[in-house]
Structure 1
Amino acid sequence: MTVTVRVRAERIPGERRVAATPESLKKLLSAGVAVQVERDAGMGASIADAAFEAVGATLVEPGSAMAADVLFHVRPLTVEETSALPAGTITVGTMDPFRGIDAVRAAQDGGVTTFALDLLPRISRAQSMDVLTSQSLIAGYRLVTLAADAFGRMFGMTMTAAGTLAPARVLVLGAGVAGLQAIATAKRLGGVVSANDIRAASADEVRSVGGTFIDLDLGTADAGGGYAAELAEDRVARQQELLATHVAASDILITTAAVPGRAAPRLVTAAMVRRMKPGSVLVDLAAETGGNIEGSVAGEHQRIAVDGGEVTLIGACDITSDLAPDASKLLAMNYANFLLPMLHEGNLVLDFDDELVGGSAVTHAGAVRNDRVREALEVPA
């Protein structure tokens, strides 16, 4: 029996990405998969419906009855959207299950199998499927271009007969994939870039992309999988105290710190912001999950009074959608590369003993399979 995949047109305003491209669909179609694409699904990523049809996909109306085995989606599905899926449907996409527990319950109750690519184990075999990495690369680049647009000055040093323009001093807090890409981008623009992170590997990683690592002598805190662990309150206070002088000296501050399943760690207080130089720019990638910078609001550009003028605080929102064609190209291959190993002689085989399949599965056959999500739901194994 032919496996059918449906590609969803995203409903959330501002979300322009799509979970498939004609190139990624060629891989699925060559493996014998039938593909349905909802009309206008690729519009925000500059992909016309005709381009999907040209490779062999069938167009279907958004919101029409689900007549496919697998649903590809970019943003987490709502409770209502999950409840409308037929039992046995398999969904592949991001879920953010710890903030979307009700949707997890809906999938459990409805017998829907859900794979959260944002929970995919970060092992070498998963690199081609890792949506967090591919989208963080896009986000890190976009953070710097947002800052550059708002800065009002050049990044690099320029020496002329009329005088010398000093380079921008850029501080990046959080040196995961997004942070490292931000460091590399700011460095290419000519900025003098320094960075801090509490993970053990971060010092070498920062230096590898041209940044100067700031050692706060706080020790390290690793949660595994390339993530930082949450700090105790006394260490948070000490971290803020030690960062204050570095924040005040920077022209551009970019924050990217995150702790999986938790609110974003608060790295910069309002008092620290008020000590910054007039004209400085702050961009907070974590604004949608609580903010690394006190007062940041997702989607808002704020002017904050400081001694002698103002600084600009930008709360990032949907920034990967700002570069939807490139973000979708990477995302689409992540999805295709995740599904293809499950196809065996035209059938979809879910081997939950496989680390990638079992590690990313949230619900299946009325049960919650992920240990951490089970704990959040307070349901037994």
Structure 2
Amino acid sequence: MKVGIERERRAGERRVAATAETVAQLVALGLQIEIEAGAGTESGIADVAYADAGARVVPQLQLSELDVYLHVRPLTPEVAATLAPGSISIGLGSPATELPTVAALADAQVTAFALELVPRISRAQSMDALSSQALVAGYRTVIEAATRYPRFFPLYMTAAGTIPPARVLVLGAGVAGLQAIGTAKRLGARVFANDVRPASADEVRSLGGTFIDLDLDAAAAEGTGGYARALSEDRAVRQRELLAPHVAASDVLITTAAIPGRAAPLLVTREMIAGMRAGSVVIDLAAESGGNVEGVVSGQDLLVPTAAGDGHVTLVGLKDAASTMPSDASRLYAKNVANLLALMTVDGQVAPDFDDEVIAGACLTRAGAVLHEPTAVALGRPPERAQLPEGDI
């Protein structure tokens, strides 16, 4: 069966869905790999490396001839319509924000797997692209903050005087937040963190951070699969009130809170940012999904005047965070993709077993149906109306 990988064409995207290592893994399974020339250039992978691993490097893929299409960013409706009926696509789908593409995949009779939908269970950890890319993004937030912050992160005691360490506050202690905490600690900062899930307190402390307990209703904040649940509006307001003094005391604020399939929760108001010291830096990792900080603009640095009138705070809407480190991000992402594809490959044939909870959970569209219920409802295509073959989900 023919598996194809193209060069990613979305502006700012530098990752690739396969590396030489994963090509060799898939070739060993009996799959035929075709990859567009230059697909791995931004990730530091030469065409010859793919060829040496067993891939056929071609000037241009014929998408309609592929059995499986591997990608990073969500497809466009035009690409989705080009894929052959019955073919398989594997990659990020962003179903909540890419409804036209989801509809096009269903209409084209493509069996699409969205990595965001991979169940968060132990057996699927090697396929969890959200976690692997959050690891990269969390590290990058601290690097971006350090390059903009006009002072040192670590404590320095010199003959000319003592320079105190920076005070870093991280909001959200998922994979990205924990990586940000660890990286900031390694740079010598004093790190504080908050998450609406009290269970994350031990993880924060294990990395040397100080957990800020806001005494919110824990049951109301615990979601499924390790994610947080959106707070009610009154609790969200109370959360911001309790966070305000901690934000004001920080030199660097990093926000990473996200809820799958929904807009990012608002954690920090413009007024709270204005209450920080002049020269402070705010990095909003959730800017692409609406932002945790009021007024943030994805891909832009904004200068927010301080309430004291003595300067400004730099508000950064971080965009394409994982893509800024394409080599390691691609290494992790491509392995996630290859592991999911390997799970559904038997004797050189890609034949998904929909009795497998990982495969069934990750499936977005199949046989003209949208199988992810929230997306189906948003499209006006309830899953119960799907015309699936007998015995299928």
> What TM-score, normalized to structure 1?
0.98
Contact 2:35 2:61 in 1 (8 A): no
Which residue number corresponds to residue 143 of structure 1? 141
Which residue number corresponds to residue 381 of structure 2? 379
Q: Within 1, Cα distance between the matches of 2:183 and 2:371?
A: 39
How much has 1:369 moved relative to structure 2? 1.7
How much has 1:65 moved relative to structure 2? 4.2
Q: Within 2, Cα distance between the matches of 1:363 and 1:335?
A: 17
Which residue number corresponds to residue 355 of structure 2? 353
Question: Is residue 225 of structure 2 the alignment partner of residue 225 of structure 1?
Answer: yes
Q: Within 1, Cα distance between the matches of 2:145 and 2:63?
A: 43
Question: Is residue 34 of structure 2 the alignment partner of residue 33 of structure 1?
Answer: no
Contact 2:37 2:47 in 1 (8 A): yes
How much has 1:352 moved relative to structure 2? 1.0
Aligned runs of 1:40-189 on 2, under 5 Å? 40-62=38-60, 64-189=62-187
Q: Within 1, Cα distance between the matches of 2:222 and 2:45?
A: 40
Question: Is residue 225 of structure 2 the alignment partner of residue 212 of structure 1?
Answer: no
Could you report, residue by residue, the CA deviation over 1:222-254 in whole angstroms, capped at 9, with x for unpaired residues?
A: 111111101111011100000000000000000
Q: Secondary structure at the match of 2:299?
A: coil
Aligned runs of 1:331-350 on 2, under 5 Å? 331-350=333-352
Contact 1:14 1:321 in 2 (8 A): yes
How much has 1:63 moved relative to structure 2? 5.7
Higher mean displacement: 74-83 or 371-380: 371-380
Higher mean displacement: 268-277 or 47-56: 47-56
How much has 1:266 moved relative to structure 2? 0.4
Contact 2:297 2:317 in 1 (8 A): yes
Contact 2:303 2:313 in 1 (8 A): yes
Q: Secondary structure at the match of 1:216?
A: coil
Contact 2:66 2:84 in 1 (8 A): no
AA in 1 matched with 2:265: P
AA in 1 matched with 2:337: Y
Contact 1:9 1:62 in 2 (8 A): no
Contact 2:6 2:61 in 1 (8 A): no
The correspondence for 1:366, drawn from 365, 368, 371, is 368
Could you report, residue by residue, the CA deviation over 1:154-199 in whole angstroms, capped at 9, with x for unpaired residues?
A: 1010111211110000000011000000000000000000000011
Q: Secondary structure at the match of 1:224?
A: coil
Which residue number corresponds to residue 324 of structure 1? 326
Which residue number corresponds to residue 387 of structure 2? none
Q: Within 2, Cα distance between the matches of 1:140 and 1:357?
A: 28
Q: Within 2, Cα distance between the matches of 1:117 and 1:324?
A: 18
Q: Secondary structure at the match of 1:375?
A: helix
AA in 2 matched with 1:241: E
Q: Secondary structure at the match of 2:73?
A: coil
Which residue number corresponds to residue 317 of structure 2? 315
Contact 2:285 2:318 in 1 (8 A): yes
Q: Within 1, Cα distance between the matches of 2:63 and 2:96?
A: 28
- Aligned CA distance change for structure 1 residues 63 and 26 (closer, same or farther; 3 Å): closer
Task: Supply the RMSD in Å over aligned alpha carbons.
Answer: 1.0
Q: Indicate the percent of aligned positions where both proteins have the same amino acid.
A: 54
Contact 2:63 2:84 in 1 (8 A): no
How much has 1:4 moved relative to structure 2? 1.5
Q: Within 1, Cα distance between the matches of 2:355 and 2:222?
A: 26
How much has 1:340 moved relative to structure 2? 0.7
Which residue number corresponds to residue 388 of structure 2? none
Q: Secondary structure at the match of 1:227?
A: coil
AA in 2 matched with 1:219: D
Higher mean displacement: 279-288 or 338-347: 338-347
AA in 1 matched with 2:290: G
Q: Within 2, Cα distance between the matches of 1:249 and 1:161?
A: 27
The correspondence for 1:202, drawn from 200, 203, 212, is 200
Q: Secondary structure at the match of 2:298?
A: coil
Could you report, residue by residue, the CA deviation over 1:198-229 in whole angstroms, capped at 9, with x for unpaired residues?
A: 11321111112111000001122111111110
How much has 1:267 moved relative to structure 2? 0.4
How much has 1:353 moved relative to structure 2? 1.3
How much has 1:268 moved relative to structure 2? 0.4
AA in 1 matched with 2:197: R
AA in 1 matched with 2:251: D
Contact 2:92 2:115 in 1 (8 A): yes
AA in 2 matched with 1:179: G
Which residue number corresponds to residue 299 of structure 1? 299
Contact 2:140 2:322 in 1 (8 A): yes
Q: Secondary structure at the match of 1:228?
A: coil
AA in 2 matched with 1:272: M
Q: Within 1, Cα distance between the matches of 2:22 and 2:45?
A: 13
Gaps of 5+ in 2: 385-393
Which residue number corresponds to residue 23 of structure 1? 21
AA in 2 matched with 1:354: D
